[in-house]
Amino acid sequence: MTKYLFKANDDVLSFCDCKDEPAMSTGQLDCPWCGCGWMIACSKCAKSYIFAEVRETDESLRDIGRRVLARQGYGDITDEELQEWCEHMEESLEDFDTGDVVVYLDGEYLRVDEKDVRFEGYYASHDLKELPHARALQNPAELKRILGDGEYWRQRALDQD
């Protein structure tokens, strides 16, 4: 069995109507406030949602990787590139248990209930007592108010040399 991410629900914000489809892997543009820095995309329809669940699947990580990379626009990928993707995903998911609900933020998957989150992401440095995704469960507007605000990201931006 392979451990991987699947849409958990449609809570707070979801554009994806798919069921039981694997998520895309990490990746974002240089405008993370648009949603690419805090939403998870579906590997089938490429539409996004907020909450993913760690599940076990009979599909191999290599097969999921081929599908995800093709959906992300990569043409012919080498076995080495696919292996690198698999290793990255295994590392990204190693601290999660089956059933954990996770969110994406700036290159990192995090448990939705994680507290005192500090890390340097792809774009910015984050120091949060509680994830905006978790706050949005009580007040959905919080998510876009914080992570959908370009100023949040620009004020915390890493040197982009």
Identify the CA nearest to 104 among candidates 128, 66, 131: 131
**Contact indicator for 6, 22 with CB cutoff of 8 Å:** yes
Question: How many other CB atoms are found less than 10 A from the CB of residue 138?
Answer: 8
**Contact indicator for 5, 96 with CB cutoff of 8 Å:** no
pLDDT in tens, the chain (161 residues): 899 999 999 999 999 999 999 998 777 778 899 989 999 999 889 899 999 999 999 999 999 998 888 877 777 888 898 899 899 999 999 999 999 999 999 999 999 999 999 999 999 999 999 999 999 999 999 999 999 999 999 999 998 65
Give the CB-side neighbour count of residue 85, counting CA atoms within 13 A: 24
Write the DSSP string, 108-130: EEEETT-EEEEEE-SSBEEEEEE
What local confidence, expressed as pLDDT, does residue 161 receive?
57
Question: 79-93 vs 61-71: helix axis angle to the nearest 10?
Answer: 110
**Contact indicator for 3, 98 with CB cutoff of 8 Å:** yes
Tokens read off for 90: 């295994």
Write the DSSP string, 52-64: EEEEEESS-HHHH
pTM score over 0.75? yes
